Amino acid sequence: MRRGLRSFSIDAIQVLAITGEPTIEVDEAELNRELECGYAIFSGAATRQAVLRFSPQLARWVSRKTWQPQQQSEYDGRRYILRLPHSQDTELVMDVLKHGAEVEVLESPELRARVKQRIDAMRDLCAGTESARRPGCLSKQVLEH
């Protein structure tokens, strides 16, 4: 439909249909160039740079993972610094959030603000007496047991 390369998460595919239309040959170098600039399923030219700093507790495990093919990393004492070029931060925000307080967004200010917005929204969702009825939130009574 968009006449361009697209990446999809296999678990998001709900229906598969064989159409009989011929496939399009894509040069491997072009495919790699297109995919290596983005982050996760988002391809395209990297227009942003994220810099993340991980706690010493997570540094060893996080340093073994390739988040993005052109990432750069270093150790700052016992902390792990990861630099990630990306075009969109949708999945990057989710990846940062799953590490909780063990990761800090040093750059960019926009990414840091997006992560903070999600944290604030999670806190607001779970606050107050209504929280027991909301998915993913535990009531005060449950937490006290």
| 28-68: pLDDT as tens digits | 776 666 555 555 445 555 578 899 999 999 998 999 888 87
Task: Flag whether 1 is in a domain.
Answer: no
**pLDDT of 86:** 79
Q: Give the model's confidence band at 131: pLDDT under 50 very low, under 70 low, under 90 confident, else very high.
A: very low
CA neighbor of 34 nearest in space, from 1, 10, 70, 65: 70
pTM, two decimals, is: 0.62
Task: Flag whether 2 is in a domain.
Answer: no
Task: Flag whether 115 is in a domain.
Answer: yes
Task: Flag whether 59 is in a domain.
Answer: yes
Residue predicted with more confidence, 127 or 43: 127
**pLDDT of 143:** 46
**pLDDT of 65:** 86
Across the chain, mean pLDDT equals 78
CA neighbor of 126 nearest in space, from 118, 136, 116, 117: 136
Number of domains in the chain: 1
First to last CA, the chain: 53
**Structural domain boundaries enclosing 65:** 10-144
